Amino acid sequence: MAKRETVRVAERVKTLPPYLFARIDQLRNEARRKGVDVIDLGVGDPDEPTPAPIVAAMQRAAADPANHKYPAYEGSFAFRKSCADYLKKRLGAALDPASEILALIGSKEGIGHLPLAFVDPGDLVLVPDPGYPVYAIATRFCGGEPHFMPLRAENGFMPDLSRVPAKAWNRAKILWLNYPNNPTGARATREFFLEAIRLCAKYGVLLAHDAAYFEIYAGRERPLSILELPGGREVGVEFYSFSKTFNMTGWRIGFAAGQAAAINALGRVKNNLDSGAFTAVQQATVAGNARLAALIGPIRRLYAGRRKETVKAMQRAGFDVFDAGATFYIWTRTPAGSTSAEFAMRALAKAGVVVTPGTGFGPSGEGYFRVALCAPQARILEGVRRLAAVRG
């Protein structure tokens, strides 16, 4: 008789593709163990520290025994009020901290849990391709089916919503959008967002907008939010993250804002799965929000400078780059004759440079790779020189 396995994991885990960045980390670490001087332009994790006033506020908050207890599930009122004040200042939109804002343990947590609040087995979720992998995976965890919407250069990397069939709209529960966009760096236009809002209202679909890179852009013109557009708050929820805004990826803090019934549904899922974000981290973030302009200015300028220099160097080296001036990514065509995976593997094996293959974000990422500007400028430029040498 065949030996019975002692643990039998679920199909959803067995069929899970390896988490892209975990696999890339593994290859990078292997190269480093072999002594290669690896330049990591792969994962989007800021290389600069969290600003000092936030760290100082954290030190104080961590020492306060009142913060050693379970946090409030939905986030402290002070934190939610600070997020509402932030939205008022940035968008001019007045949201109710009690019913329209929810603290998240990083925006990934909220993005991952949202389908549990909306998706039943057999439902569709409209997902951008290429896109942040969590939208599709979390949909599948709930028995839902992602309906992929290709992002193409000729449409400025915005999905052509008119090509989503009415049948798909009728079965859909959530439309995921993400601008400024990972991985392409694209910004959405007002017309595009208005069309998304109109279609979501027509078909009763939740518009979930991932605004994790809202504060990371070059130039004066900030990206748009659905919460500032007519009808946006009636159909939509927006996911904000302090990870990139304040170089706080390790702290795990973000928030969701928008349609009260959706915020309530997500909050009810979370109440049953987690117990909220560490109150001290929330207090430190409030301190950051209070100094928003002073803290974000240098961070934004740093990436804008790196972007300008890197785009110039890549173009000089003959790379075809897409530059809409937002996020800290540069979406680039792979050299003719190389697939995304081939070029990324060649870059690591022959040049010691980690880049992310476009197909890691979905099949429509074929023919592209992503460069993250999360290393000192000199290292990025050295990385570009090495990439140029293996263009082939």
Ligand X SMILES: Cc1ncc(COP(=O)(O)O)c(C=O)c1O
Q: Which residues bind ligand X (CB under 6 A)?
A: 44, 106-108, 111, 132, 178, 182, 210, 212, 241, 243, 249, 254
In whole angstroms, give the CA distance from residue 383 to residue 389.
10
Q: Find the shortest distance in angstroms from Cβ 19 to ligand X.
A: 12
DSSP state, residue 222 = P
DSSP state, residue 218 = S
Q: Find the shortest distance in angstroms from Cβ 90 to ligand X.
A: 17
Task: State which residue, 134 or 381, has the beta carbon closest to ligand X.
Answer: 134
Question: Phi-psi region for residue 361, left (φ > 0), alpha (ψ -120 to 50) or beta?
Answer: alpha
Task: State which residue, 328 or 343, has the beta carbon closest to ligand X.
Answer: 328
Q: Find the shortest distance in angstroms from Cβ 283 to ligand X.
A: 18
What does DSSP say about strands 329-333 and 321-322: parallel, antiparallel, or unpaired?
antiparallel
Q: At what angle do helices 20-33 and 340-351 cross, to 10 degrees?
A: 20
Task: State which residue, 19 or 77, has the beta carbon closest to ligand X.
Answer: 19
Task: State which residue, 111 or 381, has the beta carbon closest to ligand X.
Answer: 111
Task: State which residue, 236 or 335, has the beta carbon closest to ligand X.
Answer: 236
DSSP string, 8-24: ---HHHHTPPPPHHHHH
Burial of 183 (0-12, 13-18, 19+ CB in 10 A): buried
Task: State which residue, 108 or 173, has the beta carbon closest to ligand X.
Answer: 108
CA angle 51, 59, 66 (to 5 degrees): 130
For residue 364, the SS3 value is helix
Chain centroid to CA 116: how far? 19
